[in-house]
Amino acid sequence: MSPRMLPDAAWDLGLIGQSAEAILATSEKIIPTWPRLSQSISRNMFARGSTPTLSREPAHALLRLQDPAGLRPLSDDLVAMDEREVISQIDVPYLVFTGAPSRLYSEAVAHWITAKVPWAAVARFEHSGHSPHLEGPETFFDAIRGFVAVEDLTTPLKYREEI
């Protein structure tokens, strides 16, 4: 995800192809249009053409079970969030996942984060969108295993190659 979902004149790394107005309007639609909105979410969480372990239909079924009234405040919090200043204060090694064909966020977000934090490395997934843990769990776990296998996680990772 992005440290800020809403785009503005100085930030173009929010949700792909969405204006701030459109994102804010989606929050208003959560409760009255949940069956249709949950279908859109289940489609957009996966890359086009991917064959995820948890396919779109079961993902949609799980989403439909959620209470939209309970999800609305969570959505509002995510939309209001702006963690760009917090990112540079993280002082532990961490791995930033990016799905190359994500329908939600640009790969540029992951590279923005690693440019701000010497402790971050990027794991790029060629065939996964926003949900690499569901679209290719073995590749996802391999990335985590490779990251934690680094001998010295006390040294900033800024100059490491992508994992």
Per-residue pLDDT at 163 exceeds 50: no
CA distances to 23, 71, 81 from 75, in Å: 10, 6, 10
pLDDT value at residue 53? 66
pLDDT value at residue 153? 59
Q: Dump pLDDT digits (tens) for 105-152.
A: 999 999 999 999 888 899 999 999 999 998 889 999 999 998 888 756
Mean pLDDT confidence for 89-102: 91
Q: Count of alpha carbons within 13 Å of 130, Cβ hemisphere only?
A: 15
121-154 burial code (b ≥16 CB/10 A, e <16): bbbbbebbbbbbbbbbeeebeebeeebeeeeeee
Per-residue pLDDT at 6 exceeds 60: yes
10-48 burial code (b ≥16 CB/10 A, e <16): ebebbbeebeeeebeebbeebeeebeebbbebbebbbbe
CB 99 within 8 A of CB 132: yes
H or E element at residue 44: helix 34-44
Q: Dump pLDDT digits (tens) for 8-57.
A: 999 999 999 999 999 999 999 999 999 999 999 998 999 987 766 667 78
Q: What is the pTM of this model?
A: 0.83
Mean pLDDT confidence for 96-106: 95
Tokens representing residue 85 in the block: 């200043």
At position 111, the amino acid (one-letter code) is H
Tokens representing residue 45 in the block: 């969480």
Tokens representing residue 90 in the block: 């993280």
Per-residue pLDDT at 154 exceeds 70: no
